[in-house]
Amino acid sequence: MEYKVLGKSGLLVSELCLGTMTFGKEVNESDSIKMIHKFLDEGGNFIDTADVYVGGESERIVGKAIKERRTEIVLATKVRMRVGPHPNDFGYSRRRIMEGVEQSLKRLNTDYIDLYQLHVWDNITPIEETIRTLDDLVSSGKVRYIGCSNFLAWQMMKALAYSDYHNLVRFISVQPQYSLINREMDREVLPLCKEENVGVIPWAPIGGGFLTGKYQAGVTPSSGRLANGGGESSWEYRSTERNFAILNEVQKISNELDKPPAQVALNWLLNKEEITSPIFGATSLEQFDENIGSIGWRLTKEQWDRLDEVSKLPSEYPTRFLEKFKR
Q: What is the set of active-site residues?
A: 53
- Residue 124 to residue 166: CA distance in whole angstroms: 21
- Residue 79 to residue 99: CA distance in whole angstroms: 10
* Other Cβ atoms closer than 10 A to 72: 13
The one-letter amino acid at 55: G
**What is the chain's length?**
327
The one-letter amino acid at 165: Y
- Residue 163 to residue 160: CA distance in whole angstroms: 5
Query: What does each C-alpha distance from 72 to 67, 253, 288 come to in angstroms?
Result: 11, 35, 20
**List of long-range contacts for 101-105, beta carbons under 8 Å, 24+ apart:** 101/137, 101/142, 101/143, 103/51, 103/56, 104/51, 104/59, 104/77, 104/79, 105/142
